[in-house]
Amino acid sequence: MVTPTEVKAILTTTLSDSDIQAFIDGATAVVDQSSVSTTLATTLVKEITRWLAAHMIASTREQQLSSAGAGSAKAVFQGVTGMGLDSTMYGQHVKVLDSTGILASLGKTKPFLMAVEGMS
């Protein structure tokens, strides 16, 4: 199981350990629901979960600055809504670790074609 201390080793955050644990629980649920947890080695699944928890934090409560200003106080954050794992460097690392590609495909709709025969 991933700990808040392990997440803080890769992500600078002011969140409490209990807040970080909530993100770890969410990341664990996502990984467990995918077949990643049964396909990859346990140590790799733990790393994926750790980086996914960091991604979830960085894309919500602790958004990462891309640039900041002083005059007229301007701040630009990394990522764009809808980019999925690509929106943070932590999510991009998840994609590198997940050789199955399953997590990168979550949330993407798959097109389908349905043939309908005419009625007589």
DSSP 61-94: TTPPEEEE-STT--EEES--TT-GGGGSHHHHHH
Q: What does the domain layout of the chain look like in residue ranges? A: 4-105
Q: What is the structure's pLDDT at 60?
A: 84
DSSP state of 9: T
CA distances (Å), origin 70, targets 73, 74, 75, 90, 91: 5, 7, 9, 27, 29
Q: The pTM is what?
A: 0.76
The pLDDT averaged over each successive group of 10 residues in the chain (120 residues) is 97 95 97 91 97 93 55 54 80 95 79 64
Question: What pLDDT, on the 0 to 100 scale, is given for residue 50?
Answer: 98
